[in-house]
Amino acid sequence: MKRRIFKYKAVYYLAITVSLILFLISAFSIFSLFNDFSFFKLLITGFSIVVNSFAFVNLVEKYDKAILFLNLGLVVSTVFIGYYVLLIILNKGFYEMMSYSYFKFLIILIVTIIVVNKYKVQKKPDYNEIENIGEQEE
């Protein structure tokens, strides 16, 4: 029996692609630590690498917690890219911000969060007969 995480295969492939891209971005962000090191950047980069690698592996293996790790990775990325977008808006204005790739990537992440959570498979609670022995059913 095939395990399903999402209702459609296209959403599954979208989730795998996005999680791989986020993992690669977080893995290559280690190189930015050499330019300007701070302990906060080190913690965020390490957390991001761990969460995105767990998300990718869990999606490929179709484990139960795959959507949880994918959502964590997407939220962490969205928060930090949103911070840069907010700085660009405050410094240069809203209309100049449209030309930056940070804004476009932020919109893609938000749309991905919406699509992934809309089309995930809802698990029905299993009815375990052994646990219900001795209880009256009506």
pLDDT digits (tens, 9 = 90+) for 73-132: 999 999 988 888 888 888 887 777 777 788 888 889 999 999 999 988 877 666 666 666
What's the pLDDT at 121? Answer: 83
Q: pTM of the full predicted structure?
A: 0.78
Q: Is 128 helix (H, G, I), strand (E, B) or coil?
A: coil
Task: Determine the Cα–Cα distance for residues 13 and 42; give it in Å rounded to an integer.
Answer: 30
- Per residue in 14-31, pLDDT (tens digit) is 999 999 999 999 999 888
